[in-house]
Structure 1
């Protein structure tokens, strides 16, 4: 232990004597670790935001949507008849279609215009999406059956249009259509850079009527299953019902997709994991460059301190002592670079997330911190072993003669 402590003191003293060189030596490690932490914090923050939103649906939810071909064109169609047939399946407690309306550029109120997402839904959608009104009420079955032109708006829509704090009973205009505001939703924040408070919900039949028959709407059915343990069997029944309703023959591919909330979350996790490793691998190259820099500088340092090594050996220092001293010096330089890079990566990730509108806050998981510090220490060991071994092999007599 005394030998280790003395080697550590010698290494720290050598680093302190050449502060600028030590900083430049660790610069590659600083840049590499900072880049990795910044990338990981942004990707993990995005994944956490998406996950928290989808978890609101619960593991007993299914998402049914039309398939697209290789050119992005819709292959199948989800109709009102599909909706009616699915409602009759035992075990489905709630179902709501969802379709985005893109007929006009935005909504207006007393001369003010604002771009918002107009979405057609049914009453059950509120509970499944956790979209609860802060003021007024949500869409009802009567609203849908009567194709009423009513709207439930997000708080951002209200604020951007300059509407009263309580806009219930006011009218907003969507193209030539006037929509009566019947509710204002609670604030939900952002997901994937999308402002969830910037929505206008209208009855699904009203949305279909606004779009007419000039275009095929993109429809998603959100389904709530009573018993999560039956979700696989109900998924199979949903598939059979839609195939039969769409006239698909045995061997024909489905013209629709069915995913559970857990499957969606799993897919999101896989995508973000791939992104993390790809970007981490790219910026990790700078760690390799930093390691080579450490090795080069340490080789120069060994040459400059040849006489010092000779004196130490003449006083009784063993090869193991010299090896330990120079190896610790390389590891400490690398570890300091890792710590500085860690703090810098935190700051860069938070700064970039703050500059991108509606982007979720960055988040650095514990595994990324330990990985960054462990990897930087490993770089110091791998690239410090050669200079340390060179110093340990020096002959004491030749070292004392070195000028």
Structure 2
């Protein structure tokens, strides 16, 4: 079957797709294929967990295809090299990306075939290009096979809870608490302890904050706009996708091996942050602020006051348990990877999310500033308590720290991420 798939890929390199003999590759294949990945996630209305997995598979395939032709100079992500000597890494990258997306999003195969033909037309024809296509296609197919039994399917659900503190709705996707990670050794190590007890002062303080800041009945256009900017629900690129877009912005102009490594580190970390996040939600099944505030008379805390008519600024109560904030987990993970890769958190950038009100961009002085705003947006929307924001940010930071310290490092000599001596 693999030979048939690779033959089909090579057949796309048809007559008339030859670049001038003196042409140099000008492909920005990491950007182009990640943008196609974002489109696929939007079109399929992927969940946040499925989206993060898609981005990781795509970028692991690109990285391993390119790295396998470089010695390999660095440790592989999933598929070890070496690939064929002298093969074109640009051809390998686009063939690997194509192999992933046609399997994960078959409804848009024609689009991916067209992009592959266009990319290969920009490369010199001949043995180097064909060898790169074969190697990249093989890597992509092997990545798909390696993740086929990772536990992301079949979809599992947790039934609705009852009583004080419990999330009241059934929710799906709980199989991700046991999904095999891409990069960390043991995701369970990052599952935090429980949220504050319902009768505690810390809980009452967080309750009072979200009851004010997240109240739909109190006009606050700035807080509503911040929530909307980072809301990115199903039908968008999802929270992980916004950080993919940010990474593409700040890495513009980097050579192929560098950008491929950054995106693989980032997306593996995002995907692995899903696992302890879902595990924590499953373990504690904590109620959302809307239920907590409406039923505060049941929580046993004399410092909380019920408001049966309270509604969240977001307009919805949320479809998964409250603790921790998944948006915060993804944001903490991505900001840590990016700051570690560039050895700086003060990299300025401008960003527009899929749900930015009026499409208006926002500018940030660095990665952690954007992550902090993304996390706080969940409180402003009345979706999460601040302790859940902080727990999510910590999950993401801790997962990222392990990934940066242990994955995709040079095989010999000093190693680094960007300019960081790590």
**TM-score bin (small chain):** under 0.3
Q: Which has the higher contact order (CA 8 A, sep 6+)?
A: 1
Between structures 1 and 2, the one with greater strand share: 1
- Name the TM-score, length of structure 1 as normaliser: 0.21
- Name the TM-score, length of structure 2 as normaliser: 0.20
Structure with max Cα Rg: 1
